[in-house]
Structure 1
C-alpha cells in the first residue's frame, strides 16, 4: 500500500451540497430549521429536526430517498476509485452524520473504498424509527479543548486528524480535502510533507488566504469535481514517484492507472499577502 492517507470532508467536497440542508429542504422543513438554528448548535438542531420530520410522518425511508438524490460529480467518484486503486488509505472526516454519509456512499457503491468514517454518530430509535443524531464530542460533558475558536462544539476536526495520523503511522503523507470553516483547524496540523486541497471560494479557502504563512503544508486549491480529480491524482502520482525514486517522473506517471500526465505537476499555491 502507498504511504498516502487521503482525508475527505463530505458535504460540498464528496457531494456537491450540504447533506443536512439537502434533507431539510427536500422534506419541506426549511422554515422550521431556520427558526431553530439561532437557538442551538447546528448538530443539536439536526437531531431536533429529525424529530420534527418524524412527527410530520416522514419515515427513515423518506430521509434515505432524499439522500440518494444528493448530487455527486462523476469526477469525484472517479478520483476516489483511482486513489484506492493506487493503494491510498481513504478516510472521511465530516461534521455530517453516519446515517447520511453511509446512505449516500452505499447508493453510489463507494462505502467500501473508505477505511474509516469519522463523523457524528447516529442511531435509529427502535420503538418508533426516529433517527437520532448525537455529537462526535459530547460537549455537554465538557468542551473539546481546541483553542482555535472556530471549531463547532461537537467536533474539532484538528483533534480527529491528530488521532488519524497517530493510527496511520509516522511515515504516512496526508492529503486533506475540504471546504468549510471546520476544515481550517486540521489544515494547520498538516506537516510540510503534506498537502491541503481547499475548495476555492469556500470558507476554508478564505481563512487560508487571510494568512497563508500559517500553513506548513503545500496548498493546492480546486473549484469543481474535475479540478479536484486532476489535482488529487497528480499529487498522489507525485508522492508515489518520490517514494519509488526509480523512474523519471513522466514514465512513472504514465505507468500508473488513473493518473494522467499533463503539463508537469501542479505548483504549490502562492498567495499574495
Structure 2
C-alpha cells in the first residue's frame, strides 16, 4: 500500500543471527574477536577483524560464502515479497554494514524490494580487504544520543525518513535490539512498532510502554512477523479505503444538500 513505509532492522530481524558474529564465527576468528572486544567500539572492531582476517588469507569470496549461509526463517522472504507486492515502501535501518546486507539480500532475491538501505558504509579496497566505517563518524562529531552506540543513532535516521515522507504515510518499524528502542520513541501516533518478544527492544519498551506513541505489536519468530506485518498492512489499507469512501460520500452529500438549498427563481414583474 502506497501509504505505508515498512522499516526493517536486519540482524535477528530479517536474518536470525547477528551477521558480524556469523562471519567471525564461521571463519574461525571467534577467539581473536573476544580478545579484542573490550578494547574498542564494535564498529571499529569489525573493521579491525576484516584486516586481521585478510592478513591470514581470508578472501572476499570466503566471506560471501559464509554470508550466503546466514540462517533465516522460511517465512521472512515471503513476508518481504508480500509487503512489497501490496505497494508498501520497504527500507532497512541496520547497524550491520552495507556489504553484508547487500550480499545476503541479493542471495535471497529480495534486494530490489527495498528502496533504501541505511547501514555502516563498507567497500572492498584495492588489496581485496573489506573496509567497514561508521555511519556517523564519531571521531569527528557526536550524534548526541545517549541511547545509541557512537557509530549510529537509528532515531536520527528515522527522523530523516519522517521528514521526507509525503502526505499521511504511516511507518511500521520492526526490530529486536537495544538500538531499535531510540527509533521506536521517535514514531508518532498512527505508526506501528513491532518489537521481537523477549529481545532487548521488547524488554525496554515493556519497562514503560506509555513512552511509545506508536501502536505496539510484538512478534516472536518468522511466522509471527509475517502474520503481524500483513495484518497491520491490511488493517491500515481498510482504514485508508474507508476514509476515502467517507470523504467522497461527504462531498456528494454536500453537493446534494447545496442543490436542494438553492432558492427558486423569482417571477419577473410584469
Counterpart for residue 261 of structure 1: none
**How far is 1:150 from its partner?**
2.4
**Cα distance in 2 between the residues matched to 1:5 and 1:144:** 24
Query: Is it true that 1:57 corresponds to 2:54 in the alignment?
Result: no
TM-score scaled by length of structure 2: 0.89
- 1-side partners of 2:173 and 2:219: how far apart? 12
Equivalence for 2:105: 105
C-alpha distance in 2, partners of 1:247/1:55? 61
1:220 paired to 2:209: no
Residue correspondence of structure 1 range 177-188 to structure 2 within 5 A: 177-188=174-185
TM-score with structure 1 setting the length: 0.88
Gaps of 5+ in 1: 249-273
1:223-262, aligned counterparts within 5 Å? Answer: 223-245=220-242
Shift of 1:129: 0.4
Counterparts of 1:140 and 1:246 in 2: how far apart (Å)?
Answer: 49
Residue 171 of structure 1: aligned partner:
168
Task: From 135, 151, 155, give the equivalent of 2:152.
Answer: 155
Q: 1:203 Cα shift?
A: 0.4
- State the shift of 1:141 in Å: 0.4
Corresponding residue number in structure 1 for 2:191: 194
Q: Structure 1 runs of 4+ off > 2 angstroms?
A: none
Give the deviation of 1:102 after TM superposition: 0.3
* 1:205 matches 2:202: yes
Deviation, structure 1 residue 170: 4.5
CA offsets, 1:69-127, max 9 Å, x none?
0011121111100000000000000000000000000001010000000000001111x
Counterpart of 2:96 in 1: which secondary structure? strand
Aligned residue in 2 for 1:271: none
Larger helix fraction of residues:
2
What is the match of residue 142 of structure 1? 141
For 1:36 and 1:164, locate their aligned partners in 2 and report how far apart those are by CA, in whole Å.
35
Could you tell me how far apart the structure 2 residues matched to 1:38 and 1:94 are? Answer: 22
Separation of aligned partners in 1, 2:163 and 2:46: 31
In the TM superposition, what are the counterparts of 1:65-84 in structure 2 within 5 Å?
65-84=65-84
Structure number with larger C-alpha Rg: 2
Distance, in Å, in 1 between the alignment partners of 2:243 and 2:114 is 29
Structure 1 stretch 166-175 or stretch 228-237: which is displaced more? 166-175
Q: CA deviation at 1:164?
A: 1.0
Q: Distance in 1 between matches of 2:79 and 2:59?
A: 33
Structure 1 position 169, deviation (Å) = 2.3
Matched, 1:35 2:58: no
Q: What's 2:48 paired with?
A: 48
| Whole-Å separation in 2 of the counterparts to 1:178 and 1:240 | 22
Map 1:123-138; keep pairs closer than 5 Å: 123-126=123-126, 128-138=127-137
Q: What residue in structure 2 maps to residue 11 of structure 1?
A: 11
Query: Contact between 1:241 and 1:247, CA under 8 Å: does it hold in 2?
Result: no
Residues paired across the two proteins, number: 245
> Does the 8 Å CA contact 1:2/1:240 hold for their aligned counterparts?
no
Structure 2, unpaired ranges of 5+: 246-270
